[in-house]
Structure 1
């Protein structure tokens, strides 16, 4: 899947900034922070253009936010784009990476009457295999 196809399927205008952000997130193989995405983005985009493009991609559920804590937020392609089911994320306390754990599905809970689930997030914190091997 290409960035242009993703934008077209969401009926969004094609811009080089939007395409660049999607390409970076797709190629990364792990979730990235806004700063990591901005640093990897080629082209001379001002802050306003970057943040408007970024916000649009989040609002249209092309990329989604993974909140680790009040200081660390990472982004990855949304399940709507990847066609993956809801899954857990793993945060490595040593190298600060976030990985999708596709084989660990998110459990759905039976809520009391009157409650409606909008989203459920599962974040597992620990040490990744790479950091564990280096210890």
Structure 2
């Protein structure tokens, strides 16, 4: 059976989306691939989940994306963000998540999976990575 939830404004649906996430996906094995479908008349991006940028509902080609949710806590965070947008705009139907069964890990979002959880590093081409002239990497000034 395919697991699926629909998120909307709690004042209009009478449901708390985080309760639905726990009920439907609480025992799922993470990381979990889900199909996210935007039902709102606006483009949305949710940085909690890499690759979760969706065009408005009328753009049938780009209003859905398969993304990887790494754990249940992250699922709750993104669900709360969606629920807040739905509540502020009065959308009873904002977004759906449907589990993707047997999805292959070939998309660009999962190619970066190995980089998740690591601290960001400074780009070698920026001033953050290079000491100023006359300074060592520790910030000490070189004496001549």
Give the TM-score of the pair, scaled to structure 2. 0.25
Higher relative contact order (CA 8 A, sep 6+): 2
Which structure has the larger Rg over C-alpha atoms?
Answer: 2
Give the TM-score of the pair, scaled to structure 1. 0.26
